[in-house]
Structure 1
Amino acid sequence: MAATLLGSALTCVSAGYAVAAAMLTRRAAVRPDLPATGGEVRASVLKPLCGAEPRLYDNLATLCRQSVTGYQIVCGVRDPDDPAIAVVRRLQQDFPGTDITLVIDPRVHGSNLKVSNLINLAAQARHDLLVVADSDIAVPPDYLVRVTAPLADPGVGIVTCLYRGRPVGAFWAKLGAQFIDDWFAPSVRIAHAGGSRRFAFGATIALRRDTLTQIGGFASLSDRLADDFWLGELTRQAGLRTVLSDVVVTTDVTETRLAELWTHELRWLRTIRSLNPAGFAFTFITFTWPMLVLGVALSPTPAMLAVALAGLVARCTLAGSLSAAVRSPLRDVLLLAGWGSALAGRQVRWRDRILPVRDPVQDGKVL
C-alpha cells in the first residue's frame, strides 16, 4: 500500500510538473509587441572575455547591430596575449560607428577571475546603466531597449534574462542544449510563476550604477563562485526587485564529449545545490522520464498510466522537435545521475581551475 501511494504521488507530481513546464514555455514563446526602435540607450555593456570561443565574433557582433545608438561596449581580458583581443580589434574595424572599448588589465581582485575582469571593465564604463553579459551570448536587435527599460523604476534592482542553448557541434552539444531548454529554463519559469525572484543569470544582468555602488560594487562578489546569483541577491537584500525580462538570449553549447558535458553540468548542479540545498533535494521530480517510469512501476493502475502518458506527451512537447524528443529519455536519465552526484562533493571545475562549491563569504567574512 505504501509503495502504491508513493508511486501515485510521484507520478502525479512529476507529470504535473511536465505539463506546467510545457504550458509556461509555450506561453513565453509569444512575445509582446516590439517597442519603438531608434533613439538612444545610454548604457555600457560589460563583456569579460577569456580566449577566442568558436562563435565569439558572431556573438559580439549581435551587440553591434542594436536598433538604438548611444551605448558603449566594453570588452576586457587579463592576458595581453589573449586571442580574444584580435576578435575585438576586428569588431572595431567592422563596426566603426559602434563605441567599442577594449581593456587589457592583468590586475586580480579576489579569487573570482571573471569578477576581477568586471572590476577592471567597470572603471572604463561611461554610462550609468550597466549591462553585464557572458561572452558566449547572442542577442536580438531590440535587446538593449528591452533589458534596460525596467530600470526606469527606482524600485527595480536588476533585470535578468533567460537563455536558450545553441549547440555548436553534434550529439553531446545538442544534449547539452537540452539541459538548458528542457530543464533549466522551464524550472525557472515555474519558480517565477510561483512568485520566486531569487535568481540572476550571467546571460544578462542589467542594473544602475548607483545600485551597484549601494551593494559594494563588483568587489562584493570578488570571492564568490556564483557571482551572477549574488549580484541579484545583494540587490534583493537591499530591498530592490528583480525583473525577469521577456527577452530570451542565446548561449553556445560546445561540448563534444560526454566527459566535458558531465563536468560542465555537474558544476551547474553543485552550484545550484550550494545556493538552495532544500529545494535542490526535491529536484528529482523534474526528471520526467525516470520518475514516471518509477512511479508507474510502483503504482501500475490505469489511472496512473493515463497520468504518466499525459506527462510524457508534455515532456516531448517541451523538447520542441522529434529528434529532441527521442533524446529526452537519455537527457532525463543523465540529469538524474548528475543530480545524484551533485548531492555530494565540495568542488567544481571551472575552466582549468578547481574551486570550492561552498560560498567563501558568509556574514560579511571570508571563511
Structure 2
Amino acid sequence: MPVELRPVLACIGLVWYVGLWAIGLLGCATARKRYRLRPRSPLAVAPRSSVPGVSILRPLKGLDTNLYENLESTFTQEYPNYELLLSVADERDQALPIARELMTKYPNVDCKIIIGEEVVGVNPKVNNLMRSYRQAAHDILWVIDSNVTVHSGTLARSVDALVGPPTPTPGRRRIALVHHVPFAVVTESRIGSRIEEAFLNTNHAKMYIAINATAVDSCVMGKSNLYRRSDLERINGSLKPILPPNTTATQPCGLPAFGRFLAEDNMIAGALWHELGDRHDLSCDVARNVVGNMSLSDYIYRRVRWIRVRKHMVLAATLVEPFTESVVLSMIGAASLYYLFTIPPWASVLVHFVLWIFVDLDVYASLAGHPLPSDVRSEFMTAWAARELLALPIFLFAIFGSEVSWRGRAYTVLRNGEVARSEPSHSWFRRIRQPKTYEPLDADL
C-alpha cells in the first residue's frame, strides 16, 4: 500500500468507526426513551363508535411453538372495535382445533376462521392471506404472524401511532404503516434458538430502531404490521411514485401484487414509503417472537436465506453489512487508532467489546422491561459471542448465491427481490434440516 494512502485510509476508517458507534448509541438511546414506558392508550376505553375499526389478519399453518398463547393475545386486546380473521390453507391444518377452542373461550370476540388459499404468486403467506384480505370488514389491517404474541394494549397504541395527533405537524409526512420491533422469546434452550435470541434482542434491535429513528428509508420486518387497505390498493411493488389519477396502471395493485416477492412485508413497507411518499412509525410495543426448537443449522440457514434476498433488494446496504458488525468494526477501529494515535490494538479492541456488550445489554433491558436474567446469563452471552463470530462467515457463504429454500421448496431470487420456483440443488447446504413448522416470511434488515 502506498505510504501516502495510509493516513487517508486511517481517517476514513476512524470516521466509519465513530459513525457506526453513533448509530448504535442512537438505537440504544431511542430504545430507552420509547420502550421503558408504555402508557395506556385512551382508545382502550373509548366508545366503540368513536374508534377506527381494525381487522386483525393472522395466517396459520401447523402447530407453532406457544401457538395457543400467541393467538390468545389477539383475543384479549383492549380495543373496542376489531375483528379477528384466522386463515389456514388446508382444512386439515393442526392449528384449527386451537383456533376453535379460543373462539369458544372468547365468544364475545368477533372472530372468523377462513379456510382455503388463493394462489396469486409464489409466496405461501400471501396466498394464505388473500381470502382474509378480501373479506376484512375494516380499512385498517393488522397482519401479525402466528409465532408472535403481543401485549393487550398493543392494538390501541398502534392505532394511536397510525392515526396520529388530531392536528398534524405541518410538513410532516403521513404515517402509512406502524410496525413493532421483534423481541425473541426462547422456549427451548437450544444453541440455534439462543443465537437467534441474542441476535434479535441486541444488535438487530439496536440497528433496526436506529435506522427507523433516522427515517432515511424504509426498514420494516413483517412480524407485526398495521396499515390501511386503501393505501395497499394503490401500490404495486414497483417502488416508483404512483401514477397520477385517471392513468391506467401497468401492474396490478393491492396484496396480490406482492405474491411474487419472498419478503412481501418489506416490499409492502417500501412501496408505501416510495410509491405514496408516506413514512412509517414504531409504536412503543414489541412483537414477542416465540422461538422454538432451532438448531445451529436452522439459524445459519435462516440468515443465509435473508442475506440472499436482501442482496437482490438493497445490494449496496447488503455489501456494507460486514463492516457494521462488531468483529470487523473492532479491527477497523483498532487499525485506525493505532496508526493515528499509536493506541495499542489490544487495548482498543478490549474497550470496544466491553462497551459494545454494555450497549447491547442495555437495549435488551429496554425491550424486555428488565435486565438480562441471571439464570440465563451464561447461555445468552455464549450465544451472543457465537453470533458475533459467525456473522462474517455466514455472510461470505450467503453472498455468493441466489438460491434459497423455504419449507423444502427451492426458489431463485431475482431482481428486486422477486422469486421463481427452481429445482433444488444437491449441494450439502440443501441437505440442512428444514424447519418442520410454519415460519412466516420476513426481512431481517
5 Å matches for 1:24-173? 24-36=30-42, 37-39=44-46, 40=48, 42-152=53-163, 155-170=174-189, 171-173=191-193
- CA–CA separation in structure 2 for the residues paired with 1:119 and 1:58: 25
- CA–CA separation in structure 2 for the residues paired with 1:251 and 1:173: 11
- Call closer, same or farther: CA 1:244–1:188 in 2, change over 3 Å: same
Matched to 2:161, the amino acid is P
Give the aligned partner of residue 352 of structure 2: 311
Task: After TM superposition, give the deviation of residue 199 of structure 1 in Å.
Answer: 2.2
CA contact (8 A) 1:22 1:315 kept: no
For 2:290, which of 239, 245, 252 is the aligned residue? 252
- CA–CA separation in structure 2 for the residues paired with 1:256 and 1:134: 18
Query: Does residue 1:196 correspond to 2:245, yes or no?
Result: no
Q: Deviations over 1:266-321 (max 9, x none)?
A: 11222222221101111123321353156536865437655544432232121344
Give the aligned partner of residue 223 of structure 1: 260
Matched to 1:203, the amino acid is K
Query: Does residue 1:233 correspond to 2:270, yes or no?
Result: yes
- Call closer, same or farther: CA 1:311–1:18 in 2, change over 3 Å: farther
Query: Does residue 1:348 correspond to 2:355, yes or no?
Result: no
Query: Does residue 1:243 correspond to 2:271, yes or no?
Result: no
- Call closer, same or farther: CA 1:304–1:269 in 2, change over 3 Å: same
For 1:288, which of 298, 321, 326 is the aligned residue? 326
- Call closer, same or farther: CA 1:218–1:359 in 2, change over 3 Å: farther
After alignment, is 252-261 or 94-103 more displaced? Answer: 252-261
- CA–CA separation in structure 1 for the residues paired with 2:15 and 2:219: 28
Matched to 2:200, the amino acid is I
Q: Deviations over 1:173-202 (max 9, x none)?
A: 111112212222211122123332412321
Identity %: 23
User: Matched residue of 1:335: which SS?
Assistant: helix
After alignment, is 266-275 or 287-296 more displaced? Answer: 287-296
Task: After TM superposition, give the deviation of residue 341 of structure 1 in Å.
Answer: 1.9
TM-score (norm 1): 0.89
Give the aligned partner of residue 308 of structure 2: 270
Unmatched 5+ stretches in structure 2: 165-172, 236-252, 365-371, 419-445
- CA–CA separation in structure 2 for the residues paired with 1:163 and 1:123: 27
User: Matched residue of 2:233: which SS?
Assistant: helix
Pairwise CA RMSD: 2.6
User: Matched residue of 1:265: which SS?
Assistant: helix
Task: After TM superposition, give the deviation of residue 24 of structure 1 in Å.
Answer: 3.7
Task: After TM superposition, give the deviation of residue 359 of structure 1 in Å.
Answer: 4.6
Please identify the structure whose Cα radius of gyration is greater.
2
Q: Deviations over 1:228-286 (max 9, x none)?
A: 01111222212222222222121022243211111112112222222211011111233
Query: Does residue 1:206 correspond to 2:263, yes or no?
Result: no
CA contact (8 A) 2:85 2:114 kept: yes
- CA–CA separation in structure 2 for the residues paired with 1:272 and 1:255: 25
- Call closer, same or farther: CA 1:182–1:107 in 2, change over 3 Å: same
5 Å matches for 1:2-13? 2=6, 5=10, 12=18
- CA–CA separation in structure 1 for the residues paired with 2:35 and 2:296: 30
Give the aligned partner of residue 202 of structure 2: 182
- Call closer, same or farther: CA 1:13–1:292 in 2, change over 3 Å: farther
Q: Deviations over 1:107-151 (max 9, x none)?
A: 322111111111111122111211111111111111111112233
Task: After TM superposition, give the deviation of residue 70 of structure 1 in Å.
Answer: 2.3
- CA–CA separation in structure 2 for the residues paired with 1:10 and 1:284: 13
Unmatched 5+ stretches in structure 1: 363-367
